[in-house]
Structure 1
Amino acid sequence: MAVTSQHEQYAAMLEEWQEMEDALIGPRAISGGGVTYLPKTSGMIEAESLAATDNSPLTPEQAKQLYLAYKRRAEYPLWVKDSLRTMVGLVSRQEPEIVLPERMKALEHEATCDGFGLKQLYLRIVSDLLTKGRKPLLAEFDDAGNPYIATYTAETAPNWLTSNVGGRQDLTLVVFSEKRLKEGSGADEFNPEYETVYRVLDLIDNQYRVRLLNDAGSEIEEAEYPGLVGGSQSTPLNFIPVVFAGSTDNNPDVDEIPLQTMAKAALKYYQLSADYFASLHYTSHPQPWIAMNGDGDMRVTGPMAAWMLPEGGTCGYLEFQGAGIEALRKAMQDQQNAAAESGAKVIDIGGQESGEARKARQNDQHSALYSVCVTAAEAVEQMLRYIAYWMGMKDAEVTKQVIFKVIPKFSKEEVDAAMLQVVYNIVQSDRAPNEVLFESLRKAGLTDKSDEELISLMTTGGLPLPEGVD
């Protein structure tokens, strides 16, 4: 097996992760994706094929412009980015319980290699779980012997293996891909070049080993066998200090992406909008035609082009009727409704349910925000315990002295405000029907008024929105 080999679950999800990454970046990435996200129409394909032939009335550049104009008119909504910001904002109000021994106290305020504390790390994990369903974490020590938690993206952990170790299914191999600055006489400090290297973590004879390999699988640096701090190389670490945080649980398997349904709806809206706005463009720009006998003189005058025709000449417009425009508009609204509903489902934690009913439903709906908060906190706690054990603490000490817990306690008001912010953003983004927002207000118990009454309130700014929704 080559170091560049990919786990089958990784290979299956790579395209989905890229789509979610582009959804977060927004219109620039989606438009830059070209035909990946917005296929050409059959007419555009035919025009480009015709332009490539001899004696074509179209040049290749003119044929290319047909698609570029079509793509520029399309509109990609920022539903995923706006919803993620609302959800992480809701989570950021939760204060984690942090208990650390004295020699690990510094981690509370400086836990990552770029200097962020444990709460900021926790919020990063939540964000990645909502958009990728996965966040790999690695326990490490810097050159000064200080512990930290290295973070990777779902896309930079291409391979892993688990085996039965002492009766448990534990990681026996993890491969991370990393970008490394190229060194050499031709290096340009203003335009640096990078190469991909692979950090390979495995267990050899129940001993943790770390290697850095190139694409060919050759070692770039000498292999390391980290031992317990305060011990020696003859006191090996007998596990791989990696946790794959997930949206469902923290085992190495790839989990579902909570915000994927919303991203799919936004992408479909983008594709529909290309046809919708192209149709509107054609209806507002009818094709003029002129019919004359012989070589009569025709003149065009004035800023709005009044035509002066010779005797017997006729003219008119070929107008695009656009009978399907209303169907396109309805389909776009359907996608907006689907996005609003999916966002509300992810954020819904069942504030009015009993504890047992909520627990049962959450067990059935693992990708809810509540579940993501819990698994993210468990992943951070597991990493801290790995570090504590690595630093020489006994199991009993680790359990008592190393704690990172977040028990989400969202108030009904906070949940209603966050859910409605997601819906409100989508409704206010362009032409989404107000009825989507009105129905959400009624579900939240904020009003029992009819659609007509709420429309009247909108004009006066009296809509019953929770505090913080804007």
Structure 2
Amino acid sequence: MAVTATHEQYAAMCDDWRMMEDALAGPRRIRLMGTVYLPKTSGMIEAESLAKSDASPLTPDEARKLYQGYRDRADYPMWVKDSLRTMIGLVSRQEPEIALPSQMEWMEQNATADGFGLRQLFIRVVRALLTKGRKPLLIDIDTSGRPYIATYTAETAPNWRTDDVDGRQDLTLVVFKEKRLRDDSDEFDPQYDDVFRVLDLYEGRYRVRLMDQGGTVLEEEFPGYSNSNRGLPYIPSVFAGTTDNSVDVDEIPLLTMAQSALIYYRLSADYYQSMHYTAHPQPWISGMNESDDIRVTGPMAAWMLPKDSQAGYLEFTGAGIEATRLAMQDQRNAAAEAGAKVIDIGGQESGDARKARQNDQHSSLYSVCVTAAEAIEQALKYAADWMGRNPDEVVFKVEPEFTAQEVDAAMLQILHNITLSGSAPKEVLFDALRKSGFTERSDEELEAMVDSAGPVPTEGV
């Protein structure tokens, strides 16, 4: 098997990860992707096909512009990005409980490869889990012998394997995809090659190999404990997930909202295309000879026609416009419900009971915070063990405490953002929130809260 091989779960999720990346990037990226997210109509396909022949009155460029106008009129709402910002603002208020061995205390402020501390790492992991459902972490050692946490994206961890080790299912292979600067790269135009960092257990010892795409080994080492030459008996990598930290791929909490936004985008293209045709009726003239002239006068172009000629407009009635508008409303409601399910609703439950309930709902902001903290704690324990310190001295815990007021403000901010897109009636979205179990308040109570709620902090995004 080649080093470029991918795990079946990775292959199954790649399209969703790519879609989430595009959904977060916003309208410009979505439009640049063209027919990936907005297929051409059959009429546009036919027009472009005919434009390649001499029988068409349109040039190929004019035919292509039919789709460009259709695409440019479509509206992609920023529900995902705005909701993520609101959720991260809520998470950034949480205070992790941190305890480290004295020889590792510096990691609280400088834990990652790019020099950020544990609190910022926690925000990064939560953000990745909300949008990708996965965040791989790897403990490594710098040139001075100090450990740090290297972070990867879901897309750069294409392969892994678990095997039975002493009666447990442990990681025995992890492959990370990286970029390596080419030796002949220009100073102002850097060029990179894809390389693969292969982590495995060789004769019971942790081994790291750097390979090119052909599988040629470029580097190889057997990292050992800092106080001895004894090799590590495990791979010091953790895969943070939304419901647990197993190596299996978890679901993406904001995926449903992203799907609703993209469906809305496609519906809006039809809706605004229909509105465009309605606003610009097609003029027609009949009863004229080729020798007849038309005289136009006045600022709004009154036509002076020859005797016995007629003129008028072909108006687009658009019987399906209202159905399209209602379908767009359905997607706004679906997005509101999706946001309500991700935001933790608080209450008087114990932490274990709440996590069990939220896990039953697949994933939530609460479970994401808990599993993110657990993943970071496990990575720090690996670092402590690698340095010859007691892993039991490591603590990194977050017990999310979202007050009712904070959750209400966050959810109403998300609701407000979705309402602004297309001026959706608030009453319809309030009903969606009640159906999702987020609230039992009346329309009047929720309306008052919307009017009084201030902006939600967005630090950490």
TM-score range, shorter chain: over 0.9
What is the one-letter code of the residue matched to 1:264?
Q
1:236-263 deviation line (CA, Å, top 9, x unaligned): 1111000010011101100000000000
Q: Which residue of 2 aligns with 1:226?
A: 223
Cα distance in 2 between the residues matched to 1:109 and 1:436: 46
Higher normalized contact order (CA 8 Å, seq sep 6+, divided by chain length): 2
Percent of matched pairs sharing the same residue: 64
Using the TM superposition, name which of 238-247 and 441-450 deviates more: 441-450
Alignment partner, residue 246 of structure 1 = 241
Q: Distance in 2 between matches of 1:420 and 1:437?
A: 10
How far the C-alpha of 1:90 sits from its partner, in A, is: 0.5
One-letter amino acid of the structure 2 residue matched with residue 224 of structure 1: E
**How far apart are the structure 2 equivalents of 1:381 and 1:440?**
37
1:135 and 1:152 in contact (8 A); partners too: yes
One-letter code of the match for 1:9? Answer: Q
Could you give the per-residue CA deviations for residues 112-156 of structure 1, whole angstroms, max 9, x where no partner exists? Answer: 111110010011000000000000000011111121100000000
Give the equivalent residue in structure 2 for 1:266.
Answer: 261
User: Counterpart of 2:218 in 1: which secondary structure?
Assistant: coil
Aligned: 1:282 with 2:269: no
Q: 1:194 aligns with which of 192, 195, 206?
A: 192
Give how far 1:439 is off: 4.3
Which among 416, 425, 429 is matched to residue 417 of structure 2?
A: 425
What are the residue-to-residue correspondences of 1:14-413 with 2, within 5 Å? 14-184=14-184, 187-221=185-219, 223-232=220-229, 235-294=230-289, 295-353=291-349, 358-393=354-389, 397-399=390-392, 401-413=393-405
Distance 1:30 1:463, change over 3 A: closer
Post-superposition shift, 1:358? 2.9
CA distance in 2, matches of 1:408, 1:466: 22
> Mean Cα displacement is larger for which, 439-448 or 11-20?
439-448
Q: 1:195 aligns to what SS in structure 2?
A: strand
- What are the ranges of 5 or more consecutive residues in structure 2 without an aligned counterpart? none
| RMSD, aligned CA | 2.0
CA contact (8 A) 1:420 1:437 kept: no
Q: Decide whether aligned partners of structure 1 residues 249 and 438 sit closer, same or farther in structure 2, where only a CA change above 3 A counts.
A: closer
TM-score for both structures, normalised by structure 2: 0.94
CA distance in structure 1 between the aligned counterparts of 2:432 and 2:401, rounded to whole angstroms: 22
Contact in 2 for aligned 1:420/1:441 (Cα 8 Å):
no
TM-score, normalization by structure 1: 0.92
Distance, in Å, in 1 between the alignment partners of 2:431 and 2:51 is 51
Q: For the structure 1 residues 166 and 357, does the alpha-carbon distance in structure 2 shift closer, same or farther, using more than 3 Å as the test? A: closer
Contact 1:351 1:415 in 2 (8 A): no
Name the amino acid aligned to 2:394.
V
Q: Which digits, 9 at most, give the CA deviation of each residue in 1:209-249, with x for residues without a partner?
A: 1111111000122x1000100212xx011110000100111
Residues 320 and 467 (structure 1), Cα distance of their counterparts in 2 relative to 1, 3 Å cut: closer
Query: Is contact 1:441-1:447 (8 Å) kept?
Result: no
Alpha-carbon shift at residue 467 of structure 1 (Å) = 4.5
Gaps of 5+ in 1: none
SS at structure 2 position matched to 1:87: helix
